[in-house]
Structure 1
Amino acid sequence: MEYTKVAVTVTPSNEIANDLLMAQMGELGFESFSETDYGFDAYIPTKDFNSSLLKSIEIPFEDTKLAFTNEVMPDVNWNEEWEKNYFQPIIIDDKCIVRRPFDKVEGSYKHEILIEPKMSFGTGHHSTTSQMLQFILETDIKGTKVLDMGCGTGILGMLCAKKKAASVVGIDIDEWAYNNAIENLALNNISNMTIEMGGAEKIGERSFEIILANINRNILLEDIKKYQKSLVPGGKLILSGFYQEDLEIITQECQKHQLNYYSHKNDNNWVAAAYILAK
């Protein structure tokens, strides 16, 4: 698939501004982001790109200026691109490490996840992904059926698989993510997880004890009712991809569907929250 890269220059450099902009652009159809010295690069399928999309992007900081440039990018070796941009292994609570096959690390970890980071979102560097990994480490996964919705590289589902889930289903609407996740399963020799391409309609009539969804606020609000129908009573729904100020509306929507608030994490204003379906 052909992608368009939009280079976003943020002046002065501001990590919070970057996060706010990425959230807006995610809702406009941009699928992947990588930080740069000047701001970040955002990627969207060329068929979905229109320069008028950029006119709706705003930043609530008066002293911050934005500039955009765009170029069409054909299929490339995304491993080489990530190599140029310095991928650092991620360590979660000294229990889990996410790294590329050739990264050299010291020490040993209970759970090791190998990934070939390509264009798909979810390498573990973003606060939402790392907080989801923390929730999984804290959750009893053994013997459960797990759904990883919007699975990206597949690392959330793979950690569940390594924690001896009975089965894991990963679903993502992006073709890049779908193909990358399948490669990562093979790289980790995981046999109890499968990957499917599509949206929430792919869930069908299946039921799960645990559902993970690291997407964005609007999609979560739309699909919470679908997740609830697929959770067994007492099952856990873990959500991320939204801000602290969105937690109330997410919780209200969950409560409409008998999903009771359990706990949440906050990192740099990004939130991950867990809910339990009433028995």
Structure 2
Amino acid sequence: MDYLEFKISCREEFREILIAELSEIGFDSFLETEEGIDVYAPSDSFDRESFEGILSQYQDAASISVKEGKVAKVNWNEEWEKNYDPISVGDLVYVRASFHPSQAGFQHEIVINPKMSFGTGHHATTYQMLKLQGEVDHQGKRVLDVGSGTGILAIMAHLLGAKEVQAFDIDDWCVDNGNENFALNGMDIQMGLGTIRDVNPSGPFDIVLANINKNVLLDEIPIYAGLLKPDGFLFLSGFYTPDVDDLMEIASSLGLKLEKQSERNQWAALVLRKG
């Protein structure tokens, strides 16, 4: 089966949101490049109208340009291995792939073979979530990871001493990849498939992690709040700093108070606490 290939040049801060949007309309493979992202969709199920609608939505803000081509299906694993480097979050955690050597000097190490899932620690949102997790006690806690992607935040929760971790994602590719990563990191759990409404996780939880995008968060924050124990923590990222006010308006109405806020490359992350 042939794939359509689109080489998208865009501003760096828009890469992850474009990946998230395109994954919802049939694109199943993504590769970050120096100029932006290369994205791939099966030619027999490509939805051009939806694709062009997403590009037009971000065209000006992201300075998008596109080159289109067609390729035979390739070894995606080999492609991302050429472009994937380890990252560190202070001395808290070293994130590497299985083909990288370990490094001394870190409190924790996470092994992630990301394939084409989201969340390797490279993006500002994932980086901030990991850093903020390290600042909140996870020992003996029940943790829920919403839209888990590679499973990196769930793995971090496990390493920080969580008693129970549940995770799920809407993408079956992410679920397969996340389960592989859980096994690589010694976790005997299975990622669920579906939205939070589909999965219907059984609360209450001490900590809920949600690194998704603004629109999903605005819709689902009331569900997160309902799943939290009193004094529980809600970690949010996947949005820009100017969006914080919109999210806090809903959060405050649900009795969630801002504990911490961070920013990296114009992306924001929040830690909220249920009163």
What's the TM-score bracket when you normalise by the shorter of the two chains?
0.7 to 0.9
Aligned to 2:104: 107
Aligned to 1:134: 131
% identical aligned pairs: 37
Q: Displacement, 1:71?
A: 4.3
Gaps of 5+ in 2: none
Cα distance change of structure 1 residues 162 and 277 upon mapping to structure 2, 3 Å threshold: same
| Cα RMSD, aligned residues only | 2.7
Aligned to 2:142: 145
Cα distance change of structure 1 residues 70 and 197 upon mapping to structure 2, 3 Å threshold: farther
In the comparison of the two structures, how many residue pairs are matched? 271
Cα distance change of structure 1 residues 8 and 165 upon mapping to structure 2, 3 Å threshold: same
| Matching of residues 4-153 of structure 1 within 5 Å | 6-10=5-9, 14-16=11-13, 18=15, 21-22=18-19, 25=22, 33-43=30-40, 49-56=46-53, 57=55, 58-60=58-60, 64=63, 66-69=65-68, 71=70, 74=73, 77-84=75-82, 86-153=83-150
Contact 1:27–1:216 (Cα < 8 Å) also in 2: no
SS at match of 2:60: coil
Deviation string for 1:52-111 (max 9, x for gaps)?
12332233359x45124254775x643212112x21111011120111122125423211
- How high is the TM-score relative to the length of structure 1? 0.86
Aligned to 1:232: 229
**In structure 1, which of residues 259, 262, 273 is the aligned counterpart of residue 270 of structure 2?**
273
Q: Displacement, 1:197?
A: 1.0
Contact 1:3–1:43 (Cα < 8 Å) also in 2: no
Cα distance change of structure 1 residues 162 and 36 upon mapping to structure 2, 3 Å threshold: same
Cα distance change of structure 1 residues 22 and 182 upon mapping to structure 2, 3 Å threshold: closer
SS at match of 1:82: helix
Cα distance change of structure 1 residues 3 and 220 upon mapping to structure 2, 3 Å threshold: farther
CA distance, structure 2, for counterparts of residue 264 and residue 5 of structure 1: 40
Q: Displacement, 1:4?
A: 5.6
Aligned to 1:255: 252
Q: Displacement, 1:211?
A: 0.1
Gaps of 5+ in 1: none
Contact 1:216–1:241 (Cα < 8 Å) also in 2: yes
Deviation string for 1:217-261 (max 9, x for gaps)?
001111101111110111000011100111110111111211112
CA distance, structure 2, for counterparts of residue 209 and residue 130 of structure 1: 21
- How high is the TM-score relative to the length of structure 2? 0.87
**In structure 2, which of residues 154, 157, 164 is the aligned counterpart of residue 157 of structure 1?**
154
Residue type matched to 2:208 in 1? I
CA distance, structure 2, for counterparts of residue 31 and residue 243 of structure 1: 25
Cα distance change of structure 1 residues 96 and 253 upon mapping to structure 2, 3 Å threshold: same
Residue type matched to 2:106 in 1? Y
